[in-house]
Chains A and B, each alone.
Chain A
Amino acid sequence: MSQPIIVSASPHVHSDRTSKKLMYDVVIALIPAFLVSLYVFGIGAFIVTAAAVISCIVFEYLIQKFLLKSEVTIGDGSALITGMLLAFNLPSGIPIWMIIVGSLFAIGVGKLSFGGLGFNIFNPALVGRVFLLISFPVQMTTWPTAIENQTVLADAVTGATPLGLIKEGLMFGETMTNISANLPSNLEMFLGLSGGSIGEMSALALLIGGIYLLARKVITWHIPITMLVTMAVMTGIFWLINPESYASPLIHILSGGALLGAFYMATDLVTSPMTKKGMVIFAIGIAVITVVIRLFGAYPEGVSFAILIMNAFVPLINTYFKPRRFGSKIKAKIV
């Protein structure tokens, strides 16, 4: 025993899971969706993602090193995830300087102003995304359409997202039957060949990543499944009542940010509740707000807003939905 003996309190063993590994599992889970976006949007998707990731990491470094003079934590993988998720919520043709501004806002305001990883109340990537959406509504909703633009960088042909088409059509008094003619098929949406943000293209790719996260136990089913089921039930009721004025639940689930939000953003460990009961309440809240915005609000899409609003409720949810204490209800049945 050349080195001194360590005396510490139990437990003396630790599971091999670390925060860093969890973060990199999320990165791995995002890869299928990223590959689809490369296929669909070509080099544009790569540039947007790289710009967001690099600026998030650089800003975290700069702010921690020079402004906060605190420990630099860019290695923990969380800035990388924020960058990827921010990029996944942007259209592929957005100017790079806007990405940089969005990243600064996401990391600076969304995360570090609260005290860094673990202390932020709102999902940083969504803070950045919503900031950009409100500041630059035109650029943020200019969607290069799929396939044709693979090799074209500038002046790409643009089109609306399926949800945008529906919202616009219904506003002009069209019926769903007429609108549907212009919509991509459910299969196209499932595979990712419709318009939209970089990361929300392919339901299939997002599901593969989501299943990976579930299998690796980075997330549990409570948030994604509750959220998607609630959305399907709510939109399903409206659709059954009046299929000419409301889109089908399948369209609502497959299009827009529903899957991206359900599996990757609502489940953000830091900004979601810490009990399973709380997670279910949280997910129902997100689904209800999303559907209300989609069906009755001014925006065609509401997942980002819904998640941010419910993020604000998480401390309250954690306080009121506690795990049941062992032995707090006696169910002795002596025979």
Chain B
Amino acid sequence: MLKTFPKGGIHPPENKLTAEKGIKRMAVPKVVTVPIAQHIGIPAEIVVDKKDKVEIGQVIAKSGGFVSSNIHSPVAGTVTKIDQIIDTSGYKKQCIVIRTDAKNEANFVETEYPLLTEIKLESKEIVKKIADFGVVGLGGATFPSHVKLNVKEGVKLDYLIINGVECEPYLTADHRLMLEKTAEIIVGIKILMKALNIDKAIIGIENNKKNAINQFKELTKNEPGIQVAALQVKYPQGGEKQLVRAILGREVPKNGLPMDVGVVVNNVGTVFAVYEAIQHNKPLMERVVTVTGKKMENPSNFWVKIGTPIKDLIAEVGGIPEGTRKLVNGGPMMGKAIKNTDVPVTKGTSGILLIDENEASRGEAKNCIRCGECVFVCPMGLEPHLLMNLSEKGLYEKASNEDIMTCIECGSCSYVCPSHRPLLDYIRFGKSIVKKLETSKN
């Protein structure tokens, strides 16, 4: 029996159209737009001015606090604008616009890095370097990685879990990375193990990526500390709490973190970024992005510079197909719909999904028929129908007592509701109000 989390979950059609497509390198864009808030936490502080010349990998915005991250220039060029520009969130955010210098060779050299397995740095140095090099969680949450590695005194950790689940339909960025950079990721895992002083790591991969599972098993044969866990395919297994439960049987306490049960979780993409930062001094300034959609001519996976406009990616796969009605930054379950294609790729962009008219509109919401389906699928053991009802009626205190804040917004409830009720919309709304009320109380 393959492992999985026991409570809730759904099986949306996988639609992994790009699973066989190797990662291609996108041409360097003429202009990059780099937001200074690409991570959870405090936005970075801009340290360049208009007209400044910048080199590849130069820090252009410095970490604004402990939970923050450095931002590096993904190209060599000139800063042309520092302004409020709409990013993938749909809001205007402070961005640094850099015009690529077409004459600077550094922009076009493709360095082939040899595999470096020897880890020279000590634990503290690793954590510092990860912070300096702007590594954040690439699974979607973009939580600054060094924060996770700063373990408080007295906290006992015994497992590092590597998230290679990629349970979102359509997305294959992590899958391809696991296939193409297996050895590098294993070194990255060892770096993190050293940083955390943990001697056991487990890579969790869903069983729809058998080739990745086999490859990791093969390459970790002589690594007694590193195991591979093949997992049943079930959404949202990539959720931290679900993954820890699935692999170790440990339940992260309500409002707690994996650290509370002795675990640190990192995404495979993050682990690769850690490898590049530590072994090759390469800051996080590019990532793998899946560009996909059912009607797309040639859906593919790309290495993309942070700040590349999404329209460049779409042009690369043959343009926007006829009948496209929705553009999603991320996967179909948790991704964000965006309005235009000028917005840039950021550290958190795992995919660009185009949805055609058959699937773009929501069904008309009907009466709740009290089938309980939302309760059965909720991986957090919540009652989405109740939370929606309470939010709708403005009963926020009750919603809070019903644990609305523990919702991970996976969308399973809205996905299954046979009456097409906007469950998650109302829960999100309720959460935002409860959060405000809680902050005003404190």
Contact = CB atoms under 8 A, between A and B. Distances in A.
Most buried by A among B336, B338, B419, B420: B419
Interface string B153-188: 000101000000000010000000000000000000
Given A14-B362, A18-B420, A325 B403 contact: yes
Nearest to A220: B376
B158 A326 contact: no
B262 interface: yes
Contacts of B281: none
A327 interface: yes
Contacts of A8: 326, 337, 362
Interface in A20-43: 21-22
B424 interface: yes
Contact of A276 (B328, B336, B376, B420): B376
Contacts of B385: 274
B363 A15 contact: no
B440 interface: no
Interface string A245-272: 0000000000000000000000001111
A215 interface: no
Interface string B248-287: 0111111110001110000000000000000000000000
B371 A332 contact: no
Size category, A interface: 35 or more
A269 B339 contact: no
Contact of A270 (B251, B369, B416): B369
Nearest to A23: B369
Nearest to B325: A6
Interface stretch (B112-120, B144-152, B352-360): B352-360
Contacts of B57: none
A274 B261 contact: no
A7 B90 contact: yes
Given A12-B326, A330-B251, A323 B375 contact: yes
A326 B320 contact: no
Interface of B: 7, 10, 12-13, 90, 156, 158, 169, 241, 245, 249-256, 260-262, 320, 324-328, 330, 332-340, 353, 355, 357, 359-363, 366-372, 375-376, 378-383, 385, 403, 406, 409, 411, 414-416, 418-420, 422, 424-425, 428
Given A11-B415, A327-B254, A334-B262, A116 B337 contact: no
A5 B326 contact: yes
A326 B359 contact: no
A-B complex: 9 closest residue pairs judged by Cβ atoms: A11-B411, A274-B372, A118-B367, A327-B254, A269-B371, A332-B261, A13-B332, A325-B381, A326-B380
A327 B244 CA distance: 12
A328 interface: yes
A315 B161 CA distance: 42
Contacts, number: 176
B415 A1 contact: no
A12 B367 CA distance: 21
A234 to B, nearest CB: 26
Interface SS majority for chain A: loop
A275 B375 contact: yes
A3 B416 CA distance: 27
Interface of A: 1, 3-15, 17-19, 21-22, 76, 116-119, 220, 269-276, 322-335
A14 B363 contact: yes
A18 B363 contact: yes
B348 to A, nearest CB: 14
Most buried by B among A13, A17, A116, A269: A13
A117 B372 contact: no
Contact of B424 (A4, A6, A10, A326): A10
Given A270-B369, A334-B262, A7 B337 contact: yes
A117 B418 CA distance: 13
Contacts of A272: 370
Contacts of B169: 13
B406 A21 contact: no
Contacts of A274: 370-372, 375, 383, 385
